[in-house]
Chains A and B, each alone.
Chain A
Amino acid sequence: MKSLIAALALSTALVAPGLAMARPVTLTVNMAQYGGQGAYLAVYVTDPSGAYAGSLWMAGGKSKYYKHLSDWAQFTGGDTAQVDGITGASVGAGRQLELSMDLADALFDAGYTLHIDAAVEDMRDSPNEVAVPLTAAGAGTPVSGRRYIADFTYGF
């Protein structure tokens, strides 16, 4: 019995910190009625110094078009490994993209910024379409995009 309790305590001690470090986040992108084809979107994070920290999602399946997500492409050199396993379909005009993920708690209130680059076939590229600091206070506050995104919101 004692050994069982000890094992339980040990496992809790190991798991609890992990739970505290994770934060379930929902990203919601509402696309504007821009009158064009499905948009490619690159969702990624930069650290407090502005350096690329990693990608969260790539909407759009063909890597040959990633060069039009120019800021993301510049950060990553177009390396598709950065978005392996986090790639989905492009997002049509007027549609919504909702992503649920567990993000590291350390990203919030620490100077990290979430960026979205957007590009649409036969239309202008829109690097840094959205740039929003990741803060607890900013959760739930819609941020307007520059061209193709009507608004972007992140929430817990």
Chain B
Amino acid sequence: MTTTMRMQTAATTDADRRAFTQPGTLTLRIDKMKRAFAVLLMTTGLCAGLGAGSVVLAAGQGLPLRPDASPKSWLGPGAPLTLIDDDGDEGEGSWFWSLSDDDDDDDDCEEDDDDEGGDGCSVGAAGNAAKAGTVPPPQNGLFTDGAAPVVTSN
């Protein structure tokens, strides 16, 4: 036998020796790999199954598929939505004005002169009180002459 052949034989023999001297190692590794593959396959199958299920469900209900389908999309078109919380501005002692409540509202009817008929500020509009000077003051016994208070500066 040549040197090379002896070395190869030795290496093979060494590997075999290692395998044989540690008989469980190689088998253990193989088992672990098998388990890993099995888990991988299971999760893949699960995900694929969920995706297929949603496709079937949506198709059955005639719903469009959306990549960001939320639970709401599972409801039929006529399904009522339950109001969970009214709005956040009823906090005790706090005024959490939602500007989205009133998009145009930075302030109220400050610019009276320019905004006579404006948006929510006109007399009677949306139940607003009548501005001073448009109607007599309330007959509450506080004003003697029936004349409204006069704003002299603001």
Q: Which residues of A contact B (CB under 8 A)?
A: 18, 21-23, 26-27, 37-38, 45, 53-58, 60-65, 68, 80-91, 95-105, 107, 119-125
Contacts and interface: CB of A to CB of B under 8 A. Distances in A.
Interface of B: 93-97, 102, 105-110, 112, 120-121, 126-138, 140-145, 147-154
A101 B120 CA distance: 27
A25 to B, nearest CB: 9
Contacts of A55: 138, 140, 142
A28 to B, nearest CB: 9
Given A61-B108, A86-B137, A97 B131 contact: no
B143 A103 contact: yes
A38 B137 contact: no
Contact of B129 (A18, A27, A45, A80): A80
A86 B149 contact: yes
A150 B140 CA distance: 28
A102 B145 contact: yes
Contacts, number: 153
A80 B128 contact: yes
A99 B150 contact: yes
B108 A62 contact: yes
Given A63-B129, A90-B108, A101-B148, 6 more contacts: A53-B141, A54-B138, A55-B142, A80-B127, A85-B138, A88-B132
5 contacts: A45-B142, A81-B138, A100-B150, A100-B152, A119-B95
Contacts of B154: 88-89, 91, 95-98
A101 B102 CA distance: 33
Give the interface SS of chain B, mostly helix, strand, loop or mixed. Answer: loop
Contacts of A68: 95
A101 B131 contact: no
A58 B129 contact: yes
B138 A61 contact: no
Contacts of A81: 129, 138
B137 to A, nearest CB: 4
A53 B140 contact: yes
A60 B107 CA distance: 9
B103 to A, nearest CB: 13
B107 A101 contact: no
B142 A53 contact: yes
Contacts of B96: 122
A53 B139 CA distance: 11
Given A86-B138, A103-B144, A63 B151 contact: no
A18 B110 CA distance: 35
B90 to A, nearest CB: 9
A63 B127 contact: yes
B142 A107 contact: yes
